[in-house]
């Protein structure tokens, strides 16, 4: 079968690095580090942060470790819980977390 960009590949559940290139993995890790540093600076535990963001604590852990690829909606929820803007989280990630 010929590969086509128009045919969706089936998603593989719970495979952290499924088709991510090295640059994407580095970006996710940097973003996670930025989230963790902001959370710690605010004195929030992962549990309290997850409660504030209305997401599961294990998902917070995955984001902070760079093994989750959060959606734009989730990034917004994280930023609100961290009392910042999504753009500031991305800027912190660009600067190395």
Give 3-25 pLDDT, tens digit per residue. 555 665 555 555 455 567 889 99
Token code pair at residue 90: 């991305």
Does the domain at 22-94 match CATH 1.10.260.40? Answer given as yes
Give 33-87 pLDDT, tens digit per residue. 999 999 999 999 999 999 999 999 999 999 999 999 999 999 999 999 999 999 9
- CA-CA distance, 30 to 75, in Å (whole number)? 14
Q: Where are the domains of the chain?
A: 22-94
């Amino acid at each position: 079968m010929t590969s086509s960009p128009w045919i969706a590949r089936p998603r593989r559940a719970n495979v952290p690095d499924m088709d991510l290139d090295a640059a994407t993995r580095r970006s996710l890790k940097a973003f996670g580090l930025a989230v963790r540093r902001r959370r710690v600076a605010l004195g929030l535990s992962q549990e309290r942060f997850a409660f504030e963001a209305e997401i599961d604590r294990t998902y917070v852990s995955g984001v902070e470790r760079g093994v989750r690829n959060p959606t734009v909606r989730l990034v917004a929820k994280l930023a609100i819980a961290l009392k910042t803007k999504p753009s500031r989280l991305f800027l912190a990630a660009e600067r190395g977390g």
